[in-house]
Structure 1
Amino acid sequence: MSHNWKNILVSPKHNIQQVLKVIDDEALQLALVVDDSGRLLGTVTDGDIRRALLNSLPLTTSISEIMFKKPTVGLRDFSQEKILELMKTKQLNAIPILENGKVVGLETLNSFSQKAKYDNPIFLMAGGFGTRLKPLTDNCPKPLLKVGDKPILETLLLQFIKSGFHNFYISTHYLPEMIREHFGDGKKWNVNIIYVHEDAPLGTGGALGLLPAGVPELPLILINGDVLTNLDFSKLLTFHNKQNADATMCVREYDYQIPYGVVEHEGTLVKGMVEKPTYHFFVNAGIYVIDPKIYKAVTNNKIIDMPTLLEQQMGKNKKVLSFPLHGYWLDIGRMDDFEKAQQDIVNLDLL
């Protein structure tokens, strides 16, 4: 996103001359008209102003009279590919990014042409048995089950590639030869893939102890190979780095409604009643960013899961943060999840 997008925010009370100066100073050929809360009201381009002047409107005219009130916008949860496609389809050089109607950023064609490349290692966990998806997994590892026209794990791989990542490690255990045969060494996608095989299941944290020497000394993104999400992984990494975190865990809000009336009491005295209350929790989304000092300290063949590993690090006063996921996320663990994924993939626009 542009580093100076906030400088192109203008009030509907501004006049043409004031907005023209903003557009000229920021060189983005665009101004965003917002209300006092930051809600987008419209856009103004240099072309809009030129047409207004040709129609003999004075420079003192309120910008709200000439702004375009139904601009093309992107949402914060949109993938980079979807935003780029919007710009190409609409022939736009920039698109404002909104969340709940408020401007939270700006994507430009220039930002895409300068797309970052990341050397950070990506660890894809693909060793599970997929027991709850039997009989589909009797002769096929769960990460190779197709959602839409691609295996789950391939969809994940392609998302990372399009975000600029190229160093991949895949953890295998159940039917590893099928996964190796499908993905090879990554040359098909111009990336590097190295396999880490667990002779016995070690847990998501324990698999880190099998990583070979030579892993880049950079924060590692670890993700379960059965997760379907439209998370922008580059934004996750940026958050981790800016916060100087030792580890970051992605979390997802989960609502649970009690199907009964809940009674609040002290002893036998009823103090109140709440009918079928809903409680809100954040649950582990199976996606982590981990600094080298943590994942390199996991010993070979140590059995440990990631939540336990992070709890140990918190006990050592390490900075472990949560990153809430507001977009799509689905853990494909059960048959119902698998069937839902088949329906959702059509509208997700992941690739």
Structure 2
Amino acid sequence: MPLLEHQLRKARAAGIRRIVFATSYRASMFTEAFGDGSRLGLELVYVTEEEPLGTAGAIRNAARKLTCDADSPVVVLNGDILSGHDLVAQIAMHEKSGAEITMHLTLVNDARRYGAVPTTSEGKVIEFVEKSPKPPTNQVNAGCYVFRRSTIDAIPAGRVVSVEYETFPGLLASGATIMGYVEGAYWLDIGTPGTFVQGSCDLVLGRMVSPAVTPGGGVLFLNGSVVAPEAAVSGGTAVGAGAVVESGATVESSVLFDGAVVEQGARVSRSVIGRGARICAGAVIDEAVIGDGAMVGAGNELRGGLRLWPGTQLPPTAVRFSSDV
């Protein structure tokens, strides 16, 4: 299923019934996947940016489809995040504190790649430190906010605005209250192929709990998939409908989309195999992305973040590739 569905089901479980999608690139994919939301017990509406408006500009642009009053809480979720935190508790903190914004802060071992957000003992945000070599805390912005509706309406409309560099610091400077809801539950930014695979495997293994998945057995075989008894499939691998894993093949911690084929003796690990793609006998795929309809001939080794574009046909060889093809 689309990874966004986990967020939608999480929102519904928290009592949310109406969601506005802020879309831009390939916006039609969202309506094709989710329609009006009735399948999930939600009302979905869509707003498309014709020009990129930044993180806050996108929120302001989507606000024209909100129907709540000025004092109501509005939950804002980044689309590329998997989070197991307690959204109900975050909303409750926001309503109790009367804050303009309450943001989820997660805990990381190394905060240098993120926006560090120190808070007081009561949870009030003190400052925002973006991607510093010496972050003041290991609490980082986790990409889930509860806004007061009037705070969204105060964001300038029709231009690029950043929540990280303009909205949040500006509110703090004006004396507004921003609260930090700190919870170290499962959290993952799935913005790269590697973290996409990790997130999928974590859902299958139950490390990330979602209302959309019932983990069990360490692998997920969708209806119509065919896995030979002598094949080894493990590590949270998801095998799509109509996909085939032949005898003697090994697939570990990977995502095989519908109709993919891994032939006998081939090895696939920590990779994405696209729809209808074929990994021929004896080929080795490690930390790679194989596009829809592509074929990797026998003897090839594709490793280390390589991406094979859709439809590419690699003939049998004995060459190891480590850059995009």
TM range (shorter): 0.5 to 0.7
Amino acid paired to 1:233: L
Partner SS state of residue 138, structure 2: strand
Alpha-carbon offset, residue 278 of structure 1: 11
Alpha-carbon offset, residue 250 of structure 1: 1.2
Amino acid paired to 2:173: G
1:323-342 matched pairs, under 5 angstroms: 323-342=181-200
Q: 1:171 aligns with which of 18, 22, 28?
A: 22
Alpha-carbon offset, residue 302 of structure 1: 2.2
Tell me: CA distance 1:298–1:280, structure 2 relative to 1, closer, same or farther (3 Å).
closer
Amino acid paired to 1:216: C
Tell me: CA distance 1:320–1:279, structure 2 relative to 1, closer, same or farther (3 Å).
closer
Match of 2:265 in 1: none
Q: 1:350 aligns with which of 196, 210, 224?
A: 210
RMSD: 2.2
Question: Equivalents in 2 of 1:278, 1:236: separation in Å?
Answer: 24
Q: Which has the higher contact order (CA 8 A, sep 6+)?
A: 1
Partner SS state of residue 170, structure 2: helix
What is the TM-score with the length of structure 1 in the denominator?
Answer: 0.49
Alpha-carbon offset, residue 155 of structure 1: 1.0
Partner SS state of residue 174, structure 1: coil
Tell me: CA distance 1:212–1:257, structure 2 relative to 1, closer, same or farther (3 Å).
closer
Q: 1:300 aligns with which of 143, 157, 162?
A: 157
Give the gaps of 5 or more residues in structure 2: 113-133, 212-325
Question: Equivalents in 2 of 1:339, 1:184: separation in Å?
Answer: 26
Q: Which runs of structure 1 show a deviation greater than 6 angstroms over 4 or more consecutive aligned residues? A: none
Question: Equivalents in 2 of 1:323, 1:177: separation in Å?
Answer: 34
1:123-138 matched pairs, under 5 angstroms: none
Amino acid paired to 1:294: T
Alpha-carbon offset, residue 319 of structure 1: 0.2
Tell me: CA distance 1:184–1:255, structure 2 relative to 1, closer, same or farther (3 Å).
same
Give the gaps of 5 or more residues in structure 1: 1-149, 259-276
User: 2:8 aligned with 1:153, yes or no?
Assistant: no
Match of 1:208 in 2: 59
Identity, % of aligned positions: 27
Tell me: CA distance 1:299–1:280, structure 2 relative to 1, closer, same or farther (3 Å).
closer
Alpha-carbon offset, residue 325 of structure 1: 2.1
Tell me: CA distance 1:289–1:214, structure 2 relative to 1, closer, same or farther (3 Å).
closer
The answer on whether the counterparts of 1:173 and 1:198 sit within 8 Å (CA) in structure 2 is yes
Amino acid paired to 2:64: P
Partner SS state of residue 165, structure 1: coil
Match of 2:179 in 1: 321
The answer on whether the counterparts of 1:255 and 1:280 sit within 8 Å (CA) in structure 2 is no
Amino acid paired to 2:105: V
1:10-159 matched pairs, under 5 angstroms: 150-159=1-10
Alpha-carbon offset, residue 324 of structure 1: 0.9
Q: 2:81 aligns with which of 224, 227, 250?
A: 227
Aligned pair count?
A: 184
Tell me: CA distance 1:257–1:200, structure 2 relative to 1, closer, same or farther (3 Å).
closer
Question: Equivalents in 2 of 1:325, 1:344: separation in Å?
Answer: 19
What is the TM-score with the length of structure 2 in the denominator?
Answer: 0.53
Higher helix share: 1
The answer on whether the counterparts of 2:2 and 2:33 sit within 8 Å (CA) in structure 1 is no
Question: Equivalents in 1 of 2:153, 2:20: separation in Å?
Answer: 14
Match of 1:287 in 2: 144
Q: 1:194 aligns with which of 36, 39, 45?
A: 45
Partner SS state of residue 139, structure 2: strand
